[in-house]
Amino acid sequence: MCGIVGYVGKKSVVDILTDGLEQLEYRGYDSSGIAVMCKDDIKVYKAVGKLKNLREELKGHENEFASSTMGIGHIRWATHGAPTVLNAHPHTCNCGNLVIVHNGIIENYKELKENLIKLGCIFRSETDTEVVAHLVARKYSQCNDLTEAVRLASKDIEGAYALCVMHNDCKQKLVITKRNAPLVVGVGLNEFYAASDVPAIIKHTNKAVYLSDNQIATLTPEKMELIDGDGNKIEPKAEILPWEPVALSKMGYKHFMLKEIHEQPDVIRNILVGRLHAPDENVVLDEVKLTKETLKNLNRIQIIACGTSLHAAMIGKYLIESFCGIAVDVEASSEYIYRKTVTDEHTLVIGVSQSGETADTLTAIKQSKAKGSHILIITNRPDSAMAREADSLIPVSAGIEVSVAATKSYVAQLMAFYLLALYMAEIKESMAVSDLTSLKAELMILPQKIEQILAHKDDIQRVAKCYANTKDFIYIARGINYPTALEGALKLKEISYINATGYPAGELKHGPIAMLDETMPVLSILMNGSVYEKLLSNSEEAKARNARMIALTNSKDEKLNDLFENIIRVPDVQELFSPIIAMIPLQLIAYYIAEFLGKDVDQPRNLAKSVTVE
């Protein structure tokens, strides 16, 4: 997490840095800071909390940096040390001549720090980053070349980092490097931008160079020089970024989350383009690079993911197992990486990640790749580290998702699983053609059904408000919608801080039912299909304990009015697609409750969009 930006060119730098950091606020917002090359020397400005505090801090200093055209900036998600001004980046060496911003974790910082203290370095912060400032400064004092100093220092560093470095001796030079953390260089005319992510630069340029691990770039207004970790020259390869600056605007919505919820019908249409033309035609999924023969014989799939992506993976398991009869294991990446797994070259490993940068999933992917597994990545960021590890890559094309709470990327991931499961079922001939045709027909009309739900969002808002002041919230479901209950609860807790939990309804009586009384809202995801009656009984059991019952349902059953104090009705849909239809009201409930409570919907406390630490 954390976000870094850098600029060297001819333009006034401070607005470029602060605007860039604003676009990276999704990566953390514990503190922020910039370092700017002013007339005589580098000046550093920092503030705790959100970027607006830094903007305040900068007021009154305009004369100092009015003509500055080079600088670096940082937005922090605290790992080592509390969110204080001292721990905020940029960090400096003893004499203050060298400044640095860092995203990642320096794993061997303790031993580096001990050595540096022995050599006379004075540490002012509790961060792991400060060791890098001192280390590079020491190397610089030996070689008098900033690029070489960064290269030599990076040999001593273990862990993950993206770094931007400036030195008072080099008035028009930025040195940047990375390992296991994202870093992109934006290429302009007589100017270069550096950033942890595209949103920070897309307003200025759509031409970019992605650095590979251990590469070091030296940026001056005129040129970019690139070397590898051994000092060999590399020709930078620029590519055109697919992002539109407009994607970063709220487009009139109060929050990005609400905008992103409304984008979901189009997200589904987008992912279907070129992949599903008509119900009676086969799914086209050229992105899957496994041969048909291998797919036919496949008997084990492992899916790894975190958070919301993990919930999408759980539904993916359900789909693949029921469409194709292939055994699928799903595991949180953070658990998968610390145990002896039986993944091997006969296992297809699917990594699911919105950002494509989540450290736990990236590590899990690398581990399985080393064991010879074919790696299929489902991500919203085809330009991410995970995408670069992929043997097969399914980009979900949801467009940039700014709100920390994942919404449209989740629905897009589900769509990728529907397509994948259908594609494999067609190859394996594991389903009747008529069933496949009917599923594909329904898939194609999901966007209209979501639009119907969105058209009645006021009703959902009304229901949500009834429960805004509750402390706890339980979601129950069964079968394919058990992960929907988990995801609904995750959405609510992450943006409203209400203690929300999802349960498979059959488990209620094994413990959670003890929690129920007249204060507890229980939302039952009661979708027509194989477990409808079972879930209805479980809802009766909860009602018998006086819980405040809410139904989310596509049933027309009038009897439900007696059982539930509120009913949210959604369009009818085949059970297999109900996770998509059910999710939209759950996202809206979470949104409206958080909005009603006045919470920071797009940037909830303690969270970050891209979790690049294990």
Active site residues: 2, 609
358 or 392: whose CB is closer to ligand M6R?
358
- The answer to whether the CB of 33 falls within 8 A of the CB of 244 is no
How many residues touch ligand M6R under the rule CB under 6 A: the total is: 15
Q: How far is the CB of 603 from ligand M6R (least distance, A)?
A: 11
178 backbone dihedrals φ, ψ, rounded to 5° = -155, 155
Q: Is the peptide bond before 90 cis (omega within 30 degrees of 0)?
A: yes
State the number of CA atoms in the 13 A half-sphere of 492 facing the CB: 29
Distance CA 441, CA 278 (A): 7
Query: Smaller CB distance to ligand M6R: residue 177 or 603?
Result: 603
* Tokens representing residue 323 in the block: 């469409």
- What is the helix (H) or strand (E) element at residue 440, kind and residue range? helix 433-444
Which is closer to ligand M6R, CB of 381 or CB of 449?
Answer: 381
As a whole number of Å, the CA-based R_g of the chain is: 26
Using CB under 6 A as the binding rule, whether residue 611 contacts ligand M6R is answered as: yes
Binding status of residue 607 toward ligand M6R by CB under 6 A: yes
Closest to ligand M6R by CB, 205 vs 361, is 361
| Residue 547: count of CB within 10 angstroms of its CB | 25
Most distant CA atoms of the chain, gap in Å: 81
Binding range to ligand M6R, per CB under 6 A, among 44-52, 229-237, 399-407, 472-480: 399-407
Is residue 306 a contact point for ligand M6R (CB under 6 A)?
yes
In a 3-state reduction of DSSP, which class is residue 482? Answer: helix
Helices 408-428 and 433-444 cross at an angle (nearest 10°) of 160
Q: Enumerate residues 329-368 that contact ligand M6R by CB under 6 A.
A: 353-355, 358, 361
* 182 is a contact residue toward ligand M6R (CB under 6 A): no
Q: How buried is 194 (Cβ within 10 angstroms: 0-12 exposed, 13-18 middle, 19+ buried)?
A: buried
Cα–Cα distance for residue pair 38/71, rounded to 1 Å: 9
List all residues 6 or more positions away from 23 whose beta carbon is below 8 Å from its beta carbon: 197, 199, 200, 203, 248
Nearest CB to ligand M6R, comparing residues 162 and 326: 162
Q: State the nearest-atom distance from the C-beta of 98 to ligand M6R, in Å.
A: 33
Q: Are 315 and 480 in contact (CB under 8 A)?
A: yes
Residue 270 binding ligand M6R, by CB under 6 A = no
Stretch that binds ligand M6R, among 142-150, 398-406, 432-440, 448-456 (CB under 6 A): 398-406
Task: Return the residue nearest ligand M6R (CB atom).
Answer: 307
Query: Of 137 and 404, which CB lies nearer to ligand M6R in the complex structure?
Result: 404
For 482, half-sphere exposure in the C-beta direction (CA atoms, 13 angstrom radius) is 16
When asked if residue 309 is in the footprint of ligand M6R (CB under 6 A), the reply is: yes
CB nearer to ligand M6R: give 187 or 404. 404
Considering only 251-259, 301-309, 447-455, 588-596, which stretch makes contact with ligand M6R by CB under 6 A? 301-309
Structure tokens at 484: 């929907």
CB of 414 to ligand M6R, least distance (A): 13
Q: What is the per-residue binding string for ligand M6R in 28-57, x denoting contact by CB under 6 A?
A: ------------------------------
Residue (of 160, 224, 213) closest to 186 by Cα position = 224
Q: Report the residue number, 17 or 359, with the smaller CB distance to ligand M6R.
A: 359
- Contact status, residue 28 vs residue 2, Cβ threshold 8 Å: yes
Report in angstroms how near the CB of residue 495 gets to ligand M6R at its nearest. 8
Q: How far is the CB of 482 from ligand M6R (least distance, A)?
A: 17
CB 564 within 8 A of CB 551: yes
Find the binding residues for ligand M6R in span 400-459 (CB under 6 A). 404-406
DSSP alpha helix (H) spans, 456-557: 457-466, 482-496, 532-544
Minimum CB distance to ligand M6R, residue 358 (Å): 3
d(CA 523, CA 34): 46
DSSP code for 588 = H
Retrieve residue 411's tokens: 């629905």
Candidate list 307, 382, 399, 579; residue touching ligand M6R; CB under 6 A: 307
For residue 311, the minimal CB distance to ligand M6R (Å) is 8
Q: Does 385 bind ligand M6R (CB under 6 A)?
A: no
CA distance 280 to 420: 16
- Dist. CA 141–CA 384, nearest whole Å: 35
Give the nearer residue to ligand M6R in terms of CB position, either 183 or 608: 608
Output 30 or 494, the one with its CB closest to ligand M6R: 494
Name the DSSP class of 368: H
Distances (CA, A) of 577 to 41, 431, 554, 574, 582: 61, 17, 12, 6, 9
Q: Measured from the CB of residue 438, what is the shortest distance to ligand M6R in angstroms? A: 31
Site string for ligand M6R, 485-524 (x = CB under 6 A): ---------x------------------------------
Give the span between the Cα atoms of 316 and 177, in whole angstroms: 37
The distance of closest approach from Cβ of residue 15 to ligand M6R in the complex, given in angstroms and rounded to an integer, is 29
Interface segment toward ligand M6R; rule CB under 6 A; list 250-258, 305-313, 415-423, 512-520: 305-313
Residue 517 DSSP class: S
Q: How far is the CB of 356 from ligand M6R (least distance, A)?
A: 7
Give residues in contact with ligand M6R (CB under 6 A). 306-309, 353-355, 358, 361, 404-406, 494, 607, 611
